[in-house]
Amino acid sequence: MTLIALLAGDGIGPEVVAEARRVLDATGLTLAYEEAPVGGAAYRAAGHPLPPETLALAARADAILFGAVGDPAYDSLERALRPEQAILGLRKALGLFANLRPATLFAGLEDASPLRPDIARRIDLVILRELTGDVYFGEKAQHRTTDGRREGYDIMSYAEDEVRRIATVGFEMAKRRERKLCSVDKANVLETSQLWRDVVIELSADYPEVALTHMYVDNAAMQMVRNPGQFDVIVTGNLFGDILSDQASMCAGSIGMLPSASLRTWSGDTGLYEPIHGSAPDIAGQGKANPCAAILSAAMMLRHSLGQEAAAARIEAAVAAAIAGGARTPDLGGSLATAAMGDAVLAALESG
């Protein structure tokens, strides 16, 4: 039987994962679920944000459906014990280096986007973010210099093979889409980025059918609001991808709409699926969270880890139909509660 690890986590994590679970159940697929604590919830229960039992469950599951981690109550803990370490630890331990973040403007959400409707309507892109390297995982420290000033540093680095494997996923994905790949870096000032660019160019010889372009990250941020329709697949490092995908999410209406998949192979392998947003402590426990990103993450899980393309497409169509029918949580300018938004998607699924 297919086993799904449900790691709901903190804040709005449990609220949105509950809706994703209801939608999965309504597909009629036979799935087994096992829950485990993660993040601040796990620190409270077990003294560590990623207890060994939780990691073991994630490792043996067919797929992981993840909510979010992060709790302001633990912001002053030493870094290794902070809730956010759980998601970094899972990505690293499971080797989930490829993070797919599709951003599409659902019909009807033009008003929720800060972009002009004619510009927003053209958003249909995937940000492919490298997830297990870069400045997030390099050596880091804070210390005092001999004259007493505080100093901090984080080493940014990429090895050639790390760049090659993420760029390969980028080219493969572009081949299946519009055959346009934009590699985003900061090669004009960063040595890491120069290596990144060199390796991507070398690899492009194997993919003559894909049109490769390069863009500096500052320009990419500007182009994302000026004309996001120009992008098909963007491949970039961990830090730049983190920032650009939050920006892309808002262009597509709300951070509450963007799902993600974290993979180590293209398909048919264990992956971790989560909304791109965090635990949103400002709205947690109030029924205000938009569950669509979590629901769409569950659809990605069916597609990439479980080989259930038809069910994945049905869920995506149901979210689109609910949105087209006017269902809106507060982040989209509406007033539906989290569960009522889940109901709207379920209703669309059943009538679709």
As annotated, the binding site includes 91, 101, 129, 218, 242, 246, 278-290
Non-local (6+) Cβ contacts of 50 within 8 A are 38, 42, 85, 86, 89, 90
Q: How does DSSP assign 235-285, residue by residue? A: EE-HHHHHHHHHHHHHHTT-GGG-EEEEESSSSSS--EEEESS---TTTTT
- Establish whether 218 is a catalytic residue: yes
Q: Which listed residue (14, 49, 51, 70) binds ligand NAI by CB under 6 A? A: 70
With CB under 5 to 8 Å by kind, the binding choice for 331 among ligand NAI, Mg ion, none is ligand NAI
Q: Which member of 62, 186, 273, 331 is catalytic?
A: 186
- Establish whether 161 is a catalytic residue: no
With CB under 5 to 8 Å by kind, the binding choice for 242 among Mg ion, ligand NAI, none is Mg ion
- Establish whether 242 is a catalytic residue: yes
When the beta carbons of 5 and 12 are compared against ligand NAI, the nearer one is 12
CA distances from 83 to 254, 260, 314 (A): 24, 19, 34
* DSSP β-bridge partners for residue 9: 68
Residues 101-127 as b or e (16 or more Cβ within 10 Å = b): bbbbbbebbbebbebeeebbeebbbbb
- Which residues, 234 to 263, sit near ligand NAI by CB under 6 A? 255-256
Among 94-102, 228-236, 282-290, 295-303, the segment contacting ligand NAI (CB under 6 A): 282-290
CA distances from 33 to 73, 232, 308, 352 (A): 29, 35, 17, 26
Task: Pick the closest to residue 344 from 312, 313, 309, 320 (CA basis).
Answer: 320
* DSSP β-bridge partners for residue 262: 99, 272
Sketch the per residue contact string, 239 through 268, with Mg ion: x for CB under 5 A, - otherwise.
Answer: ---x--------------------------
Q: Which member of 136, 158, 207, 273 is catalytic?
A: 136
Structure tokens at 267: 């398909």
Smallest gap from residue 252 Cβ to Mg ion (A): 15
What is the DSSP-derived secondary structure letter of residue 106? -
Taking the C-alpha atoms of residue 329 and residue 13, their distance in angstroms, rounded to an integer, is 16
Instruction: Answer whether 238's CB lies under 8 Å from 81's CB.
Output: no
- Which residues, 121 to 180, sit near ligand NAI by CB under 6 A? none
When the beta carbons of 20 and 203 are compared against ligand NAI, the nearer one is 20
- Establish whether 43 is a catalytic residue: no
- Which residues, 80 to 99, sit near ligand NAI by CB under 6 A? 84, 87
Taking the C-alpha atoms of residue 50 and residue 56, their distance in angstroms, rounded to an integer, is 10
Q: Which listed residue (68, 182, 302, 322) binds ligand NAI by CB under 6 A? A: 68
Sketch the per residue contact string, 213 through 242, with Mg ion: x for CB under 5 A, - otherwise.
Answer: -----------------------------x
Q: Taking CB under 5 A as the rule, does residue 134 contact Mg ion?
A: no
Please give the residue ranges that form the binding site for ligand NAI (CB under 6 A). 12, 16, 68-70, 84, 87, 255-256, 274, 277-283, 289-290, 293, 331
Site residues for Mg ion per CB under 5 A: 242
Catalytic residue ranges:
136, 186, 218, 242, 246
